[in-house]
């Protein structure tokens, strides 16, 4: 519990306790925002912080036995190896659990200066962990909060320490102390931020790169590696976490309805699609970062091409996503190409991948003959036609759909059209999983996720002897006009089909009908644009800030300075000419304004007081005096006496003061003034004001 107050206890102790609690809370929220904390740790720590807040408010009377605390601590240290080897199975998560356990114990039991020091260290460790684990702009917000609260804790700690060192304090001013401390904290925090902001853009970051090697790979979205289970993409679509950002190099390409291809899956066992590829071919970029993915002979003239930049967030896997067929890309990492046109990054940065792509778009007309394509090998033909034992109704349905179609392209289009028009897209499916999910989708429920549509088409294509595979990736997303980037979230996850057609090769088909309840652009969506734009800036200029960014920033500053200097000499003459024309008027106006300001600043209060006294004197002469006017008139009496060198001591009453004067005539005059003052001030007799005014005139005349 918080200790008993002492010294400047009321305002300072409360301010210190609340600041320390806020420091712990900001560190906790920073780690919680990274997504690494499990639910039990989140709940237990939040409950401890809440209890601490209640203790500071003196609401409950709770005391924790030292024996119980010691026993719990020893028990957890015995539990730590179990957590490390069997539960977390990694050093960082197990250590974070231990740190938060110690934090909970100290939060609930801290009452000494040593305990408070431990809490400060724990709060700092929480922020350090968040720095390593988090790549979101939320960390920056909590960092600013942590900085302000750290200054508040330091300032209030020093005041508490000083108050205990001095037994007597000659002057205290508890009123408004918290407000003044808050102002000091704000000023110091802003000064620190301004100082470090400049250093940030000129100093390279190396500590974070070193720390992140100790971080175990965090949670990634499933479904974009070598395996996806039916229904898995639909579960991903229920989330709205940003996964990737795309920036088109040409504004006219922003409106294209693109599919971001991630992984193509060839094998199907009735419930999941997967690959059996043993390994891939490493592709190392040249020193400039350029990596050619196709040869010169594969690039055809007259085709539509697009270029774009991609920024993958840390929730995405190490899969590279492309729109169209990538021709070449610029990337800093080693790329591995797998069969089926899948690309992955080896040893990626755990906080995101960035790359630039130049791609060819496939024509929408599936009947267009492009010429000869490389045929499938017999092994590939067998793999892309292989099927498990499927429901007997599926081959029959395939024959009915393609009975009147002749070419593979026509059959593929017929299957795509049938699924789009006879089934419903939905994310709401029964919680129980059927034994044959594909047959359940086609013949029972007749609605489902996108991967049900893609799986059904791929299986029916194989029933029609057309090689096929299922592709996972994302749809276009939504354009953010604030940042200029295309925002693609987990809810944009999608599955479609690629069929191998003669003279065309692998061709894209999408049998999923449109969502009957598409999300509109709401006020929350527009607000999300600003939040996303801030996060893009954070990722672009903070998380991925490197030497290239430093050089880019320096180039921008140089260009800005050059643009300023270019027209400086040419505009100098015109500038001075305009200054000459307006100098006289502005100078006189400025001088007069400054003079009036100085005069009002210097003599304004005295003039205002003189005007108020004059107005009251006029009221007194008219017989409209009030009891409060007696104080004003007596102040004039004291002022007149002070000019004669006579000052009234504070411990004498007005009548006693009149009697101690050595001049008899002046003493009698002041006695009459005091009687009139008492009659007006305490007797409520307005006529006494006239007599007091007459005596005051005599006193001032006598003084003269």
Final residue in a domain of this structure, among 461, 491, 519:
519
Please indicate, yes or no, whether residues 351 and 476 belong to a single structural domain of this protein. Answer: yes
User: Are 202 and 423 in contact, with CB atoms under 8 Å apart?
Assistant: no
**Res 413: pLDDT:** 95
Q: Are residues 459 and 494 in the same domain?
A: yes
Residue 362 has a pLDDT of: 75
Q: Does residue 366 register a pLDDT over 60?
A: no
Are 148 and 77 within one domain? yes
Residues 450 and 540 grouped into a single domain: no
Q: Cα angle vertex 146, ends 145, 149, to 5°?
A: 85
| Percentage of the residues of the chain whose pLDDT score is greater than 90 | 16
- 650 found inside a domain: yes
Whether residue 618 lies inside any domain: the answer is: no
- Start-to-end C-alpha separation, the chain: 71
Structure tokens at 96: 């974070």
CB of 472 closer than 8 Å to CB of 250: no
Residues 232 and 264 in one domain: yes
Q: What is the pLDDT of residue 177?
A: 59
pLDDT class for 3, splitting at 50, 70, 90?
Answer: very low
Q: Answer yes or no: do 514 and 524 share one domain.
A: no
DSSP H stretches of helix in 423-521: 437-440, 450-463
Structure-block tokens of residue 114: 């040593």
Q: What confidence tens digit (pLDDT) does each residue in 657-704 have?
A: 888 787 888 888 888 888 888 887 787 777 777 788 778 778 777 654
653 in a structural domain: yes
What pLDDT sits at residue 454? 94
CA angle 18, 23, 27 (to 5 degrees): 145
Contact 188, 151 (CB under 8 A): yes
Residue 490 lies in a domain: yes
Same domain, 514 and 551: no
Residue 407 and residue 369 share a domain: yes
- Domain boundary, last residue among 453, 486, 519: 519
Contact 283, 336 (CB under 8 A): yes
Where in the sequence is the domain holding 94, given as residue range(s)? 9-165+177-214
Q: How many CB atoms lie within 10 A of CB 469?
A: 25
Q: Report the chain's mean pLDDT, rounded to a whole number.
A: 76
How high is the pLDDT of residue 149? Answer: 85
Element (H, E) at 352: none
pLDDT digits (tens, 9 = 90+) for 580-593: 555 555 555 665 66
> Is residue 637 assigned to a domain?
yes
Does residue 111 belong to any structural domain of this protein?
yes
Q: What is the pTM of this model?
A: 0.58
Residue 56: closest CA among 24, 105, 12, 17: 17
Examine the domain organization and report whether 515 and 531 are in the same domain. Answer: no
Tally the domains of the chain.
4
Q: Is the pLDDT of residue 135 over 90?
A: no
CA 169 vs. chain centroid, Å, equals: 45
pLDDT digits 0-9 by tens, 198-255: 555 555 444 444 444 444 444 445 445 677 888 777 666 667 778 888 999 998 888 8
pLDDT of residue 453: 94
CA dihedral defined by 654, 655, 659, 660, rounded to 10 degrees? -30
The predicted structure's pLDDT at residue 403? 92
The answer to the question of residue 350 being in a domain is yes
Q: Counting beta carbons within 10 angstroms of the beta carbon of residue 445, is it exposed (0 to 12), middle (13 to 18) or buried (19 or more)?
A: middle
Average pLDDT of the residues in 94-111: 83
Output DSSP code: residue 319. Answer: B
Does residue 400 sit in the same domain as residue 528? no
Say yes or no: 458 and 543 in one domain: no
Indicate if 401 and 529 belong to the same structural domain: no
Q: Is residue 392 part of a domain?
A: yes
What is residue 372's three-state secondary structure? coil
Across 320-329, 458-467, 498-507, 660-669, which has the greatest mean pLDDT?
Answer: 458-467
Three-state DSSP at 228 gives strand
């Amino acid at each position: 519990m918080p200790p008993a107050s002492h010294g400047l206890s009321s305002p300072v102790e409360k301010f210190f306790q609340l600041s320390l609690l806020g420091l712990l809370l900001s560190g906790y929220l920073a780690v919680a925002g990274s997504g690494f904390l499990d639910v039990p740790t989140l709940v237990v720590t939040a409950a401890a912080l809440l209890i601490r807040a209640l203790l500071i408010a003196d609401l409950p009377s709770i005391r924790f036995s030292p024996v119980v605390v010691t026993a719990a601590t020893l028990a957890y240290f015995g539990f730590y190896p179990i957590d490390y080897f069997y539960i977390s199975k990694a050093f960082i998560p197990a250590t974070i659990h231990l740190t938060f356990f110690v934090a909970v114990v100290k939060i609930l039991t801290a009452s000494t200066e040593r305990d408070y020091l431990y809490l400060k260290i724990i709060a700092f460790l929480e922020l350090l962990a968040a720095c390593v684990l988090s790549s979101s702009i939320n960390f920056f917000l909590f960092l600013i909060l942590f900085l302000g609260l750290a200054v508040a804790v330091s300032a209030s700690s020093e005041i508490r320490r000083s108050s205990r060192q001095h037994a007597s304090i000659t002057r205290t001013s508890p009123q408004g102390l918290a407000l003044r401390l808050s102002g000091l904290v704000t000023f110091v925090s802003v000064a620190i931020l301004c100082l470090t902001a400049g250093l940030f853009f000129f100093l390279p970051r190396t500590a974070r790169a070193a720390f992140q090697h100790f971080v175990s790979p965090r949670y990634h979205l499933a479904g974009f590696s070598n395996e996806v289970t039916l229904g898995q993409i639909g579960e991903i679509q229920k989330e709205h976490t940003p996964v990737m950002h795309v920036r088109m190099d040409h504004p006219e390409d922003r409106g294209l309805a693109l599919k971001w291809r991630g992984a193509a899956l060839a094998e199907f066992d009735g419930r999941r699609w997967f690959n059996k590829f043993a390994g891939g071919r490493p592709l190392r970029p040249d020193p400039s970062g350029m990596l050619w993915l196709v040869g010169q002979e594969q690039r055809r003239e007259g085709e539509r091409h697009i270029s774009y930049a991609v920024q993958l967030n840390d929730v995405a896997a190490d899969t590279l996503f492309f729109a169209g067929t990538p021709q070449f890309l610029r990337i800093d990492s080693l790329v591995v190409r797998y069969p089926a046109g899948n690309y992955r990054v080896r040893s990626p940065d755990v906080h995101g991948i960035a790359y630039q792509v130049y791609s060819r778009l496939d024509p929408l007309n599936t009947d267009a003959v492009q010429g000869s394509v490389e045929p499938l090998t017999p092994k590939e033909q067998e793999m892309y036609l292989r099927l498990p034992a499927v429901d007997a109704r599926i081959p029959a349905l395939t024959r009915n759909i393609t009975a009147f179609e002749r070419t593979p392209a026509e059959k593929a289009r017929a299957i795509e059209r049938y699924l789009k028009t006879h089934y419903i897209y939905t994310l709401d499916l029964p919680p129980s999983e059927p034994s044959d999910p594909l047959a359940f989708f086609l013949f029972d429920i007749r609605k489902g996720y996108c991967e049900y549509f893609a799986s059904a088409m791929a299986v029916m294509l194989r029933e029609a002897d057309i090689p096929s595979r299922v592709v996972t990736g994302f749809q276009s997303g939504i354009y953010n006009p604030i940042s200029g980037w295309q925002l693609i979230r987990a809810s944009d996850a999608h599955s479609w089909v690629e069929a191998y057609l003669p003279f065309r090769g692998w061709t894209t088909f999408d049998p999923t009908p449109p969502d009957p309840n598409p999300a509109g652009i709401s006020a929350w969506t527009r607000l999300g644009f600003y939040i996303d734009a801030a996060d893009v800036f954070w990722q672009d200029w903070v998380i991925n800030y490197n030497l290239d960014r430093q050089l880019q920033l320096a180039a921008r500053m140089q260009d800005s300075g050059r643009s300023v200097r270019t027209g400086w000499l040419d505009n100098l003459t015109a500038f001075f000419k305009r200054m000459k024309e307006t100098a006289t008027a502005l100078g006189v106006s400025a001088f007069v304004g400054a003079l009036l300001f100085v005069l009002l600043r210097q003599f304004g209060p005295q003039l205002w007081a003189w005007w108020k006294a004059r107005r009251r004197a006029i009221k007194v002469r008219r017989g409209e005096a009030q009891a409060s006017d007696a104080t004003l008139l007596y102040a004039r009496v004291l002022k007149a006496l002070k000019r004669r060198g006579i000052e009234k001591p504070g411990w004498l009453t007005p009548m006693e003061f009149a009697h101690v004067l050595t001049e008899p005539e002046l003493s009698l005059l002041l006695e009459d003034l005091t009687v009139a003052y008492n009659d007006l001030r305490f007797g409520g007799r307005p006529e006494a004001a006239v007599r007091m005014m007459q005596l005051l005139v005599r006193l001032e005349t006598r003084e003269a």
